Amino acid sequence: MSALSTFAGRVCGVDEAGRGPLAGPVVAAAVILDPARPIAGLNDSKKLSARKREALALTIREQALAWAVAEASVEEIDRLNILHASLLAMQRAVAALQILPERALIDGNRCPQLAVPAEAVVQGDAKVAAIAAASILAKTVRDAGMLALHARYPQYGFDRHMGYPTAAHRAALAEHGVSPVHRKSFAPVARQLALLP
């Protein structure tokens, strides 16, 4: 794979994790990398092992000029829809940065409303180092949150599928019903609720 693009100046990469799951929040991260301290091994978080993601997340937190993680709740997802909740989480992450970026590069094809110029980069997590770093932080924070939810709702197996609509998750939904952390606006959950008397 070719090297990821890096940029001079205070450019923040922004990405989210958790648009597809049936449960849990959507998490976004914003990262401004330090051009003087490049981080080896950055890549789209989905292409990295969990162990590699965790190691890189530590390095990003230590070496980035600034980073922040934010989320939109299950209630906000159900109220706004998942796209707008994802954009809201991104907005919150950028606003939480300790350093104001000069511009933001957003993974995907839509930009949240920000106080700085923003540009959408399709498949940015595989092209831009700062977006890859954001994808790693978002994914590791969300996975940790889903493990915490697993401790509260072990019957759903969140530790295995992180809330994604696997066959095992759908079977658990059918057997145990809908938990408070399920997204009621998502079709498989809504169908389960429709079966209630």
Task: Check if the beta carbon of residue 107 is closer than 8 Å to that of residue 124.
Answer: yes
Q: Please determine, for residue 195, whether its predicted confidence score (pLDDT) is greater than 70.
A: yes
How confident is residue 3, by pLDDT bands cut at 50, 70 and 90? low
Q: Is 17 helix (H, G, I), strand (E, B) or coil?
A: strand
> What is the spatial distance between Cα 42 and Cα 60, in angstroms, rounded to a whole number?
9
Tell me: the pLDDT tens digits for 114-157? 999 999 999 999 999 999 999 999 999 999 999 999 999 999 99
Q: Is 108 helix (H, G, I), strand (E, B) or coil?
A: coil
- Specify the residue for token string 């969300």: 142
Mean pLDDT of the chain: 95
Number of Cβ atoms within 10 Å of the Cβ of 103:
14
Tell me: the pLDDT tens digits for 47-65? 999 999 999 999 999 999 9
Q: Please determine, for residue 1, whether its predicted confidence score (pLDDT) is greater than 50.
A: no
Q: Is 42 helix (H, G, I), strand (E, B) or coil?
A: coil
First-residue to last-residue Cα distance in the chain: 54
Lowest-pLDDT range of 7-16, 22-31, 68-77, 135-144: 7-16
Task: Check if the beta carbon of residue 158 is closer than 8 Å to that of residue 24.
Answer: yes
Distance of CA 63 to the CA centre of its chain: 20
147-160: buried (b, 16+ CB within 10 Å) or exposed (e) per residue? eebbeebeebbbee
Q: Which residues contact 57 (CB under 8 A, 6 or more apart)?
A: 136, 137, 140
Identify the sign of the CA torsion 1, 55, 169, 186: negative
